[in-house]
């Protein structure tokens, strides 16, 4: 099995080939799953409940190990969970963004500069001293993204980051991630059930029973899913 980003093609940020995963004593979740995400693009991952979307992201970030197949992903990778309360750990906004930099052993002025840059990128510099508990759901998701930007992540993996947000905040977040991808050369893979979010991405994958069954232009996939009542996203 090959993992890491050492020999990934220059035009790609994520490469998954024939990946298979099953839980102990469980049925297969991913079965020869293959996909490529081009560098500097914003792609989405769609599929019915239980089709393996979250499992694929967890494999990509190393939280799970596949039984077979190959994965390559550019480092560092940032992960944004559905529920931001599962990943924001410090009492204030600036402290939380800085927390992710501990391993880099930076000087204090470098940490301050990275935190300011990251909060500016998500338009939340004004809130740097605010307690985490006093943020909205959308603001918390943007802080999680700022943490990844501060760490200079090349790839963002987002697992239904808008699931707990109201519709306006949902579209603000997806538009902001698109802007970050385009302005900073990041690559993002975003799991969603919401077809209106497809308007913001460069391409999408459709996962069914652990395999990619369609991929490509978001508008075409959107039309396919709107005309397929048997695929309940
Ligand atoms: N910790 C676990 N132990 C055993 N089975 C699990 C575990 N986590 C998930 N599964 C199973 O793995 C399969 C794939 O789950 P996964 O969360 O990847 O699906 P998904 O496509 O992200 O679904 P959803 O859209 O509902 O979030 C499901 O059948 C699920 O029940």
The length of the chain in residues reads 233
Q: Residue of the nearest CA to atom 15 in ligand 1?
A: 50
pLDDT at 85 over 80: yes
First to last CA, the chain: 32
pLDDT at 195 over 60: yes
Q: Do residues 160 and 80 lie in contact, with contact meaning Cβ atoms separated by under 8 Å? A: no
Q: Residue of the nearest CA to atom 4 in ligand 1?
A: 23
pLDDT classification of 210: cutoffs 50, 70, 90: very high
H or E element in which residue 214 lies: strand 211-216
User: Ligand 1: which of 23, 30, 44, 50 to mutate, most ligand atoms within 8 Å of CB?
Assistant: 50
Q: Do residues 142 and 173 lie in contact, with contact meaning Cβ atoms separated by under 8 Å? A: yes
pLDDT at 2 over 70: no
pLDDT classification of 26: cutoffs 50, 70, 90: confident
**Cα-to-centroid distance, 23 and ligand 1 (Å):** 9
Q: What confidence tens digit (pLDDT) does each residue in 96-155 have?
A: 999 999 999 999 999 999 999 999 999 999 999 999 999 999 999 999 999 999 999 999
Q: Which fold has domain 1-75+154-233?
A: Rossmann fold (3.40.50)
Q: Do residues 141 and 133 lie in contact, with contact meaning Cβ atoms separated by under 8 Å? A: no
Phi first, then psi: what are they for 136, rounded to 5°?
-75, 170
Average pLDDT value for residue range 176-205: 96
- Which value does ipTM take for this structure? 0.96
- Rounded-to-integer distance, Cα 12 and Cα 211, Å: 20
* Domains of the chain by residue range: 1-75+154-233, 81-152
């Amino acid at each position: 099995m090959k993992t890491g980003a050492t020999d990934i093609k220059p035009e790609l940020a994520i490469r998954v080939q024939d990946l298979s995963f099953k839980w102990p004593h469980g049925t297969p979740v991913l079965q020869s799953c293959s996909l490529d995400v081009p560098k500097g693009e914003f792609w989405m991952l769609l599929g019915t409940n239980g089709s393996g979307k979250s499992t694929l992201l967890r494999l990509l970030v190393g939280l799970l190990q596949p039984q077979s197949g190959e994965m390559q992903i550019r480092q560092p990778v940032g992960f944004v969970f559905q529920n931001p309360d599962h990943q924001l750990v410090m009492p204030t906004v600036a402290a939380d963004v800085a927390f992710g930099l501990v391993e880099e052993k930076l000087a204090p002025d470098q940490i301050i500069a990275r935190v300011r840059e990251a909060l500016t990128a998500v338009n939340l510099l004004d809130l740097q001293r605010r307690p985490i508990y006093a943020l909205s759901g959308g603001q918390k998701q943007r802080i999680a993204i700022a943490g990844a930007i501060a760490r200079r992540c090349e790839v963002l993996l987002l697992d239904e980051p808008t699931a707990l947000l109201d519709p306006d905040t949902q579209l603000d977040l997806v538009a902001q991630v698109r802007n970050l991808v385009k302005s900073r050369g990041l690559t993002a893979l975003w799991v969603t059930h919401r077809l209106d979010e497809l308007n913001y991405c460069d391409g999408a994958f459709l996962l069914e029973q652990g395999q990619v069954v369609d991929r490509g232009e978001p508008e075409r996939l959107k039309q396919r899913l709107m005309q397929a009542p048997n695929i309940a996203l």
